[in-house]
Amino acid sequence: MTNEAKNEKLKPKHNTKKVCATVTRWTIAALLVIQLILAIALQAYWKLITLLIILIAGLTILPKQYRKWFYLSLTTVVIILTIWVFLPVNNEGWKPYTFNEEIKALNEKYYVPDEQNAAVIYNQLSDIFEDPCIATMINDYNLYELSSEPWTTEQYPEYSAWFNNNQHIIDLILKLNNYEKCYFPLNPAPYLDQDYTNHFFTIKKATLLMGITAKHDIANNNIPASLIKDYTTLKISDHCMQMPSALDKLVGVAIEALALRHLDEKIMDNKLLTNEELNLIKEELCQYQHSYQKHFTELLDYEKLYLKNFLMLLYEANEKKEIRFNPDPGRYSRIKAQEYLKQESEKRISTLDPFYEKIAYQSFLESRLQKATTIANWLVFPKNPLQLSAHVDQYFKDVLRITDPNYQIKQKPQHYMNTINPYNYTMLKFSFRYFLKSKIKREFNHYYPMYNLFKRVAADKKGTLLLIAIKQYHNDHGNWPDSLSVIHNLTEKVNFIDPRNNGSFAYKLTEDGFLLYSTGANKIDENGKSREPADDWPIWPPDGDDVWNKDDPNDEYYDYYESEQ
């Protein structure tokens, strides 16, 4: 066969190969163009945009004779990066980048000397609660039953004996009334806050013990002693509210709501309270003038700093102040999980939490994949952490609008879990700006229930002050007032304004007494119903007629409950 015949035979095959290569090259180039357009639209970081332009140019406009060198260079870079991914990580001397000066300034702002600091008492209580004998009793779930209804020694002799033998614990909790201020060292960084939440257990148990002993005092007709326990609970709430973190303030609000509920019951159910005694309760309540705007401003400042330090897990710094992208961002979560598992194993718990076991230990391939994400982080995020911090400040301004006294959420925000989904996850990887906007939007959706909770408890407090005036009127006249206008001279005018809508509270006489409730943000009187779509909030009676029976298939929320289960 001649050479010409051979060339003719090979030509179609050669042309097919060439066409396939061309189609593949232009297809890849087209996909890169789409990604470039998306990156520009989302304001991706310049390094990613530059890389996409280089790749597109190399596949399209680069002369054919230089194209093989482009492919060779690209292959070399990929090989080098692959080798780097599989090399061991040197973590010696490297720690997460943190805003230490800001953390220091925050602690200086809230610092309280030990002689004035209620945290000293809480720390003493914490040591007591760690005693195995004490811990066994205070962790008894049956204690919660004692905090719900008055109880006598005859009903619960074992618990009564324990409280008699441990009166020193109750006396120590009552000492909290002597402290106006409270401060626990603040650690607004994800890898530092392991010990920060320890005081919540102590606060929770101290509140529980106050509620239990207050109910025992009621059963023994010792109303003054019971009121002191309620005042102590209010003091515990105030101590929590002085701290800036969302956790502290949420715990404080929950405890305040509990104390107000207990006071409402005493005000309305006890016939022995005179007008003078009711005035003493009013004076005690008026000591705690919590400003919604002030608390939320403090909360958001703290949360913003926490978010910054959370994002700084992407970076590491050493003593030389050198900064690098963190090649193993999950290392700190693994350390925490390993410490938790170690503590659990020391307690001889046979079944360890599989969630922590999965985090604590990773396979070799998982560790390499995590290191590979550092390359993507380098392309997407700024190299300088301060630039990222500046963007957090900019985007967080949108969240700060919630502290405006006139701010009203028009509609319930989208559930935060839906903010990031499979459809927009790719966009998050394109642009750290888009990532920050989505992250902060998720945070804002967390603040939505806090917003409602703060205002709801503010309504509870004004409601308690109104109940005092209503009860004083009843003491003087022997009947309940026809309307709230009748008691205007018995309490301050501000107490008649519902903080949830800046309107009026609803008050209606019934056969058994009366209903008092907030009409909610929509300002629509829905007869005290609080389940969506209604948003009223009952103050007295505390549950109103809107009791949900989860075991009743006829209840309109039964199907929802079953689906949630």
Place of tokens 């989505």: 438
Structural domain ending residue among the three candidates 423, 448, 473: 448
Predicted TM-score (pTM) of the model is: 0.82
pLDDT in tens, 230-251: 999 999 999 999 999 988 999 9
Length of the chain: 565
| pLDDT of amino acid 203 | 95
Average pLDDT, consecutive stretches of 10 residues, N- to C-terminus, the chain (565 residues)? 54 70 86 86 82 89 88 93 90 89 94 96 94 85 83 92 94 96 87 68 94 93 93 96 92 94 89 87 88 83 89 90 87 78 66 69 83 87 90 84 66 46 51 79 75 88 96 94 94 93 93 92 87 88 54 38 33
Structural domain ending residue among the three candidates 53, 86, 119: 86
| pLDDT of amino acid 548 | 36
Instruction: For residue 117, list its beta bridge partners.
Output: 181
Q: Is-cis flag, bond preceding 12, omega within 30?
A: no
pLDDT in tens, 3-46: 555 555 545 555 787 788 888 888 888 988 888 888 887 778 88
**What is the C-alpha to C-alpha distance for residues 414 and 403, in angstroms, rounded to an integer?**
20
Q: Are residues 487 and 357 in the same domain?
A: no
Q: Are residues 81 and 116 in the same domain?
A: no
**What is the C-alpha to C-alpha distance for residues 99 and 189, in angstroms, rounded to an integer?**
9
CA-based torsion, 519, 522, 525, 527: positive or negative: negative
Q: Are residues 285 and 336 in the same domain?
A: no
Q: Are residues 335 and 412 in the same domain?
A: yes
Q: Are residues 434 and 507 in the same domain?
A: no
Q: Are residues 308 and 436 in the same domain?
A: yes
Q: Are residues 511 and 404 in the same domain?
A: no
Q: Are residues 44 and 168 in the same domain?
A: no
Q: Are residues 229 and 336 in the same domain?
A: no
Q: Are residues 39 and 130 in the same domain?
A: no
Structural domain ending residue among the three candidates 262, 288, 303: 303
SS3 503: strand
Q: What's the number of domains the chain is made of? A: 4
Q: How many CA atoms, within 13 angstroms, populate the side-chain half-sphere of residue 141?
A: 0
| pLDDT of amino acid 421 | 46
**What is the C-alpha to C-alpha distance for residues 89 and 92, in angstroms, rounded to an integer?**
9
Distance from the Cα of residue 459 to its chain's centroid? 22
Q: Are residues 311 and 259 in the same domain?
A: no
Q: Are residues 421 and 542 in the same domain?
A: no
∠ CA 172-177-183, rounded to 5°: 90
265: tokens are 């019951």
DSSP secondary structure letter of residue 142: T
223: tokens are 């109303």
Burial class (CB in 10 A: 0-12, 13-18, 19+), 150: middle
Domain containing 176 equals: 93-303
| pLDDT of amino acid 564 | 32
| DSSP codes of every residue in 507-523 | EEE-SSSEEEEE-TTTT
